[in-house]
């Protein structure tokens, strides 16, 4: 794993991509920091960070698009996959290299509260909680990018996919606003969602009877729950969409709460995405 980590880190530090990523993050945060914190003499860096989460929409796809897709296109994955290392080690090595690149701008940001302290009272605990949240958010979004880079051998497609997923997650709060908060609306949304999931399963296993049975059972369970206790459904589609709103989980951190559920949430995303990336590489061998 360390071999891949070192190689990946070096390749990002000897090409433009790594520096563009770091420079862009620092530039945007620098602008917001000087406007919000320095210009208005405002002690909470969390407000700056919660305002700049959009940088990930652009930066993360650029950083992660080539990480696995390029290996596949250049056929260098033949070297990695025939070497005595586990696929999960390959994915983890690459992921940690990307996180290390991301750590550099975060370390620079970690000096900002100290700068602010020169001019007055600043709560360091609150500031570093916000920076921790920002770090976790970035790591989670990078893991999504790594997974999406593993599903294609085309860097551009990988970048577009990563952008789309991050963007949908970014605006998911707005999307959930489209749905009325009534139980009926949630039921309808879930019914459609299950059908879509079943279509996807059907395309994977190509067995009409099995998917049919699964679809009917799932829909029936849904309707029975609705009939028995419809209050469960009130606002539930909003909650469901909220799970995918990655940036929303930053709010607690930026307001100074060391949110254990938020930490668990981000770590789960990372673990799931790296697992999916590993599986998607494994699966390709069987095609």
Partner 1 sequence: MIQVKNLVKRYGDQKAVDNLSFTIEKGQIYGFLGPNGAGKSTTMNIMTGYLAATEGEVLIDGHNILEEPEEAKRHIGYLPEIPPVYMDMTVGEYLRFVAELKKIPKAEREKQIDDIMELVKITDMEHRLIKNLSKGYRQRVGLAQAVIGYPDIIILDEPTVGLDPKQIIEIRELIKTLGKNHTIILSSHILSEVSAVCDYIMIISHGKLIASDTPENLSEMMVGSNTLELTVKGERGTIVSEFASIPGMDAINYVDSEEDGCTDVTIQTPKNVDLREEIFYKMAGKNCPILKMHFTTISLEDVFLELTQNPDLLEQKDEEAAENRDDVAADEKSEVE
Which residues of this protein are in contact with partner 1, per CB under 8 A?
A: 2-4, 6-7, 10-11, 14-15, 74-86, 285-287
Provide, rounded to whole angstroms, the least separation between the CB of residue 83 and partner 1. 5
Looking up tokens 């919000």, which residue turns up? 36
Angle at 95 between CA 93 and CA 99, to 5 degrees: 115
Nearer to partner 1, 276 or 281 (CB): 281
Provide, rounded to whole angstroms, the least separation between the CB of residue 94 and partner 1. 13
Provide, rounded to whole angstroms, the least separation between the CB of residue 205 and partner 1. 16
Task: Locate 157 and state its tokens.
Answer: 């497609």
Provide, rounded to whole angstroms, the least separation between the CB of residue 285 and partner 1. 4
Backbone phi and psi for residue 83, each to the nearest 5 degrees, phi listed first: -90, 155
Provide, rounded to whole angstroms, the least separation between the CB of residue 220 and partner 1. 36
Nearer to partner 1, 15 or 268 (CB): 15
Nearer to partner 1, 20 or 27 (CB): 20
Backbone phi and psi for residue 41, each to the nearest 5 degrees, phi listed first: 50, 50
Nearer to partner 1, 6 or 239 (CB): 6
Nearer to partner 1, 79 or 220 (CB): 79
Nearer to partner 1, 79 or 271 (CB): 79
Provide, rounded to whole angstroms, the least separation between the CB of residue 278 and partner 1. 13
Buried b (16+ CB within 10 A) or exposed e, 109-140: bbebbeebeeeeebbeebbbbbbbbbbbbbbb
């Amino acid at each position: 794993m360390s071999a891949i980590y070192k190689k990946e880190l070096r390749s990002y530090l000897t090409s433009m991509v790594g520096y563009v990523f770091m420079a862009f993050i620092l530039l945007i945060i620098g602008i917001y920091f000087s406007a919000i914190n320095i210009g208005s003499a405002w002690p909470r860096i969390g407000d700056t960070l919660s305002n700049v989460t959009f940088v990930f929409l652009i930066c993360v796809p650029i950083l992660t698009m080539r990480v696995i897709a390029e290996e596949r296109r250049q056929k260098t994955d033949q070297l990695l996959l025939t070497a005595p290392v586990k696929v999960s080690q390959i994915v983890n090595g690459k992921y940690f290299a990307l996180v290390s690149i991301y750590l550099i701008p975060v370390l620079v940001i970690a000096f900002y509260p100290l700068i602010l302290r020169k001019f007055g009272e600043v709560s360091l605990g609150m500031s570093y909680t916000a920076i921790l949240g920002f770090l976790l958010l970035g790591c989670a979004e990078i893991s999504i990018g790594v997974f999406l880079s593993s599903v294609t051998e085309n860097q551009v497609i990988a970048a577009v996919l990563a952008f789309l997923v991050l963007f949908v997650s970014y605006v998911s709060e707005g999307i959930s606003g489209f749905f009325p908060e009534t139980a009926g609306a949630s039921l309808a949304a879930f019914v459609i969602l299950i059908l879509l999931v079943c279509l996807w399963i059907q395309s994977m296993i190509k067995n009409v009877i099995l998917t049919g049975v699964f679809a009917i059972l799932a829909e029936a369970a849904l309707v029975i729950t609705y009939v028995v206790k419809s209050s469960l459904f009130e606002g539930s589609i909003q909650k469901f969409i909220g799970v995918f709103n990655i940036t929303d989980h930053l709010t607690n951190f930026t307001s100074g709460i060391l949110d254990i559920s938020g930490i668990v949430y981000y770590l789960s995303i990372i673990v799931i995405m790296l697992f999916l990336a590993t599986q998607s590489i494994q699966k390709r061998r069987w095609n």
